[in-house]
């Protein structure tokens, strides 16, 4: 599955749906972002049931500000409309796969209960 480009206009629509959305906050000038991009793309091809999305922090500064993105790349995982993971750094493939596995294994009723929603 190809990655989706997220903007201020479509972010909520994509992120609020059911299922898992992985968001890569990046910028063209960022060396670690460029190194992480092929890892992210490779995972997108392997996990067709997950929405892989990218936010260009230069083109979408309001999204970076909204989520407090201070360092890029930052990977954010959203499941069923709830942010369940957000961490800066270019993850190696095994770590990214582990994050995906962890997010898949979450008990979302428990997550919502902990958030008090």
pLDDT digits (tens, 9 = 90+) for 14-65: 999 899 999 999 999 999 999 999 999 999 999 999 999 999 999 999 999 9
Q: Which of 21, 23, 33, 50 is catalytic?
A: 33
| pLDDT at residue number 42 | 95
Query: Residue holding tokens 């770590």?
Result: 95
Q: How confident is the model at residue 115 (pLDDT cuts 50, 70, 90)?
A: confident
Q: For residues 19 and 90, what is the distance between their CA atoms, to the nearest angstrom? A: 23
The CATH superfamily holding the domain 4-115 is Glutaredoxin (3.40.30.10)
Q: Which of 30, 55, 90, 96 is catalytic?
A: 30
**2 DSSP assignment:** P
Cis peptide before 73 (omega within 30 of 0): yes
Q: For residues 53 and 21, what is the distance between their CA atoms, to the nearest angstrom? A: 7
| pLDDT at residue number 117 | 57
| Catalytic residue list contains 30 | yes
- Residue 87's contacts (CB-CB under 8 Å, 6 or more residues apart) are 74, 75
Residue, of 116 and 6, whose pLDDT is higher: 6
| pLDDT at residue number 1 | 57
Of 13, 48, 2, 40, nearest in space to 24 by CA: 40
**Quick one: CA dihedral 80, 85, 21, 42, positive or negative?**
negative
| Catalytic residue list contains 42 | no
| pLDDT at residue number 75 | 98
């Amino acid at each position: 599955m190809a990655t989706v480009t997220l903007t201020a206009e479509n972010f909520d629509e994509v992120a609020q749906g059911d299922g898992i959305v992985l968001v890569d906050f990046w910028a063209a000038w960022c060396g670690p972002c460029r190194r992480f991009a092929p890892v992210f793309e490779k995972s997108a091809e392997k996990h067709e049931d997950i929405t892989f999305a990218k936010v260009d922090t230069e083109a979408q500064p309001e999204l970076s500000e909204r989520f407090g993105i201070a360092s890029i790349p930052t990977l954010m995982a959203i499941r069923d409309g709830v942010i369940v993971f957000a961490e800066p750094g270019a993850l190696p493939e095994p770590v990214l796969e582990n994050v995906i596995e962890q997010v898949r294994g979450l008990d979302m009723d428990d997550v919502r209960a902990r958030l008090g929603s």
